[in-house]
Amino acid sequence: MPFVPLKLKPGVVKDITEYASGNASFYIDSNLVRFRNGFPEKLGGWIQEDYSSVGDSSTTVVYGKPKQIIFWRSITDSIDRIVIGTHNHLYNLVGGQYYDITPLRKTSSNLTNPLATTDGSTTVTVTDSSHGASTGDFVVIEQATAIGGVTADTLNRLDGYQITKVDGNTYTITVPSAASSTVSAGGGTTIDIKYLIGNAEGLGFESADPALGWGVGAWGESTWNTARDATSNTINLDATNWSLSLWGEDILANNRNGQIYYWDTSAGEGTRAVLVSSLSGATDVPTKVRTIAVSFPDRHLIAGGATPLGSTELDPMLVRFSNQEDFAVFTPTSTNTAGDQRLEVGQKIICMLPTKDEMFIQTDEAAYAMTFTGPPFTFSFRLLAVNCGAVGLSGSANVDGDVYWIGKNNFFVYDGAVKELPCSVQYFVFDRMQKQFVDKTFAAHNKKYNEVTWFYVSTANVTINNPEPDSYVTYNYQDAAWTIGSLSRNVWHDASGFRRTPFAFDGDGKLYNHDLGTTDNGNAMDAFIETGDLELSTAGENLFLVDKIIPDATMTEDTNLFIDLKTRKFPNGTETIKSGFKVTSETNKISTRAKGRQLAVKFYSNGTTDQWLLGDFRLDAKKDSER
């Protein structure tokens, strides 16, 4: 029998049987592999980029789980900056150092001896009447002097401390080293304490509480049969997440269900973001907002899901927009373009994306287009489709004006019309997705390789409380091919400007530059792709002996690619595996001697120097007996 070319269609198929996918010449599984021009290729590696706190070089990652990032290069000073929103902070990363720019809820000034220590304990008690803070909020202490053996530098660190509430007038913080004596009141007579926005603003929630009832809220939060006060409430139906938008060279930020903040680049790297409503000339800025975006090219600040004019109650389906070129003015007048529009299909607005010609708005049930039309109505709103709602604030990606997103049970694209994306791994992905954490799913675009990837929390993640995304599914929109795999990432930004490769943060706050090298930050990458059971003859009546494999692959000189052959006599029969056939750049043929009616082939590498692109392998298959 002549050599049989191993030609397979691009993409992984999981939603039919392995035998059926083999008959149709598909791959059935993969990890850390992409398709390029129709052929499988090992993903490029990633390298961790070091950074640290401006106040403490030993603090090498940001506090909190990264939820959103935005990157830009300022024109005025040519400096690259990344603003990172975590579940409890907002940071500015520049020049390898990060600054805490989280807005302040309030400042208590010139306190007299509010600190207390206990000999041998790392707990410091703070007394501040009516502080209004909750367990989990953060404070920054300034101008404190040493107390009980705890140094002033320790108390006044720029990163501050997370607090544990004791009562309405006191709380505790935990310092790195224990006090050497007991002091009931000390720390100085001109202490300032800055309270970062926290629980009261919807900040500090790694995950959403799925429902109200028994077990919701922190254990021991209050005493039995005693009502919790508002500032100690830790129940939240939405996980903390951020919307970050550029306004020129500055940043507009909104933590979901909270207020809108402004960070002025020219004010200094460590200057904190401030309320938009506090700016000079601001009028009727919504006090609660689900998400924000800046429309292009007309430049209105759009608030999706907002408090109506004159109200403090959030309307999750109300769109409000500022005056053109003035993000702080939301009062509609006859001489400006501010206004609002309530959407009808759905219960809440999930996310908004500015595209080339319109603002793409997604509720939990529908998709809308918001188009600038000018006076007298400013914007028109079109219902594009229903039963296509988004599941997460970051689950959609804008690809040159087309929008790709993940829905409740399928994937969609909007390219002028809303369409469901045919997906060969749809049931596999949604069946293994932890649905209570679907809001953490986010979309990542890699334009160089024509890919949109969704990272999600899978059932393989055994973390009980607050698991973060651990798996991914990728759609190559050039080849219409899907791949799957495991990789822990929380946020992603495509290559942009002087950042020539994509970069991402994981759940621990580590920053990685992708598509660099061949390793997982110096460690081996376990990359593989596996075919379905390929029928060696049309009718399948005979066994075949696969005697040789002629490799066809582009690889580096120090790549070791391995092949496993898996044969069966019947689709449900016992699988026989012959493994570890090695392919290098010098390999001309491989002697195998594997027998069966069906044959599956697995290509894999697990080293630190491997990089390969598969071509059309050929098999030398000889007809054997019928048994």
Beta strand pairing call for 590-596 and 544-550: antiparallel
- pLDDT over 50 at 254, yes or no: yes
9 to each of 22, 35, 307, 503, how far by Cα in Å?
10, 10, 51, 30
- pLDDT over 70 at 425, yes or no: yes
- pLDDT over 90 at 225, yes or no: no
The answer to whether residues 416 and 407 touch, using CB atoms and an 8 Å cutoff, is no
CA angle 90, 91, 94 (to 5 degrees): 160
Nearest alpha-carbon partner for 456 in 509, 395, 369: 395
CA angle 7, 11, 17 (to 5 degrees): 85
Please report which confidence band the pLDDT of residue 357 belongs to, taking 50, 70 and 90 as the band edges.
confident
- pLDDT over 80 at 92, yes or no: yes
Please report which confidence band the pLDDT of residue 2 belongs to, taking 50, 70 and 90 as the band edges.
low
Average confidence score pLDDT of the chain: 91
- pLDDT over 70 at 233, yes or no: no
372 versus 219: which is more confidently predicted? 372
3-class secondary structure for 81-133? Answer: EEEEEECCCEEEEECCEEEECCCEEEEEEEECCCEEECCCCCEEEEECCCCCC
The region of weakest confidence among 34-38, 93-97, 225-229, 374-378 is 225-229
Q: For the segment 266-324, what is each residue's pLDDT rounded down to a tens digit?
A: 999 999 999 999 999 999 999 999 999 999 999 999 999 999 999 999 999 999 999 99
**Interatomic CA distance for residues 342 and 47, integer angstroms:** 46
The answer to whether residues 469 and 442 touch, using CB atoms and an 8 Å cutoff, is yes
**How large a percentage of the chain has pLDDT more than 70?**
92
- pLDDT over 90 at 22, yes or no: no
318 to each of 128, 272, 349, 536, 613, how far by Cα in Å?
39, 29, 8, 60, 50
The label of the residue with tokens 């071509």 reads: 615
Residue type, 13: V
How many alpha carbons fall within 13 Å on the CB side of residue 606?
7
Backbone angles phi, psi at 212, to 5 degrees: -80, 155
**Fold for domain 104-196?**
Elongation Factor Tu (Ef-tu); domain 3 (2.40.30)
The residue extents of the domains of the chain are 3-44+526-623, 104-196
DSSP 565-608: EEEESSTTS--EEEEEEEE-TT---EEEEEEESEEEEEEEE-SS
β-sheet bridge partners, residue 112: none
Strand order in the sheet with 451-456: 442-446, 451-456, 471-476, 481-486
The answer to whether residues 84 and 90 touch, using CB atoms and an 8 Å cutoff, is yes
SS3 content of the chain, % helix, strand, coil (to 5): 5, 45, 50
Query: How high is the pLDDT of residue 18?
Result: 56
- pLDDT over 70 at 236, yes or no: no
- pLDDT over 60 at 229, yes or no: no
DSSP label of 307: P
**Interatomic CA distance for residues 57 and 582, integer angstroms:** 46
Query: How high is the pLDDT of residue 592?
Result: 86
Query: How high is the pLDDT of residue 506?
Result: 98
Q: For the segment 57-84, what is each residue's pLDDT rounded down to a tens digit?
A: 889 999 999 999 999 999 889 999 999 9
> If one looks up domain 3-44+526-623 in CATH, what number appears?
2.60.120
Q: For the segment 561-620, what is each residue's pLDDT rounded down to a tens digit?
A: 999 998 877 766 777 888 889 999 999 998 887 777 788 899 999 999 999 999 999 888
In terms of C-beta density within 10 A (0-12 exposed, 13-18 middle, 19 or more buried), how is residue 507 classed? buried
- Asked whether the bond before 376 is cis by omega within 30 degrees of 0, the reply is yes
Residue type, 213: G
- pLDDT over 60 at 41, yes or no: yes
Query: How high is the pLDDT of residue 568?
Result: 75
Handedness of CA 183, 185, 187, 192 (dihedral sign): positive
- pLDDT over 90 at 29, yes or no: yes
- pLDDT over 80 at 16, yes or no: no
Query: How high is the pLDDT of residue 213?
Result: 45
Please report which confidence band the pLDDT of residue 5 belongs to, taking 50, 70 and 90 as the band edges.
confident
Number of Cβ within 10 Å of residue 273's Cβ equals 23
Q: For the segment 359-369, what is each residue's pLDDT rounded down to a tens digit?
A: 999 999 999 99
CA angle 567, 572, 578 (to 5 degrees): 20
Mean pLDDT of 379-402: 97
Nearest alpha-carbon partner for 515 in 14, 43, 16: 43
- pLDDT over 50 at 176, yes or no: yes
**Interatomic CA distance for residues 196 and 102, integer angstroms:** 6
